[in-house]
Amino acid sequence: MNLDEVDILFTEEELKKKIKELGRQIALDYNGDELLVIGILKGAFIFMADLVRQIDLPLEIDFMDVCSYGLSTESSGEVRILKDLDYSIEGKNILIVEDIIDTGLTLNYISEILCKRGPKSLKICCLLDKPSRRRSPIKPDYVGYSIPDKFVVGCGMDYAERYRGYPAVCILKPSVYEK
Ligand code: IMP
Ligand code: MG
């Protein structure tokens, strides 16, 4: 990690502990039911991989890829499906897994589409939430951490496709994107 560019917000160890707690809570709530976990690419891939290994339930996984951000740090409000799910979700318990909820526009759009496909239930789990930025009525059911309005990278999250592999969640120094 290049500490000239980022400040660490949550360490790898803190994240591990938090994700374990989330997984335990999810397994408790679904109480042995089957679950289809849907990861939103690309940002959710690391959190999703860590999370499913902590959920002791019979589960399946699928992925959806949408784009909303382009290469900037601000939401455009426009969401486009780049890759849809492989299978039907009708009658299934769905858990959408997202890296971070900012304006909520992306997840609002995705959950509206998925609700129309007749799942048995639909919940949302995000690693990070920036509630102060919300521009839609989305409320996640499981949240790792609520954070202030800072741009973060690492643990799957990027700035212009960089930093996804950083093991900690880091605040990107504004000097990097204001260059
Ligand atoms: P929303 O539609 O504004 O809620 O944006 C959600 C998506 O924007 C997330 O899935 C992320 O991919 C991206 N995003 C929002 N905030 C950040 C951030 O601080 N760092 C990296 N990506 C972010
Ligand atoms: Mg994302």
Q: Which atom of ligand 1 is nearest to the CA of 133?
A: 3
Q: What are the DSSP calls for 114-137, one per residue?
A: HHTT--SEEEEEEEEE-GGG--S-
For the chain, the domain total comes to 1
Instruction: Report if residue 4 sits inside a domain.
Output: no
Peptide bond before 42: cis, by omega within 30 degrees of 0? yes
Instruction: Report if residue 175 sits inside a domain.
Output: no
Instruction: Report if residue 94 sits inside a domain.
Output: yes
Instruction: Report if residue 7 sits inside a domain.
Output: no
> How confident is the model over 117-176, as pLDDT tens digits?
999 999 999 999 999 989 899 999 999 999 999 999 999 999 999 999 999 999 999 999
Mean pLDDT of the residues in the chain: 93
Instruction: Report if residue 87 sits inside a domain.
Output: yes
Contact by Cβ (8 Å): 40, 106:
yes
Instruction: Report if residue 131 sits inside a domain.
Output: yes
Q: Which of 99, 102, 129, 158 is catalytic?
A: 102
**Known active-site residue 102:** yes
Residue 49 sits at φ, ψ, to 5 deg, of -65, -40
Instruction: Report if residue 41 sits inside a domain.
Output: yes
Q: Which atom of ligand 1 is nearest to the CA of 44?
A: 10
What is the domain range of residue 117? 13-147
Q: What is the CATH number of the domain that holds 70?
A: 3.40.50.2020
Place of tokens 């939103």: 40
Q: In sequence order, which ranges of 31-138 are alpha helices (DSSP H)?
A: 45-52, 105-115
Q: What is the pTM of this model?
A: 0.93
Residues 127 and 172: their CA atoms lie apart, in Å, by 17
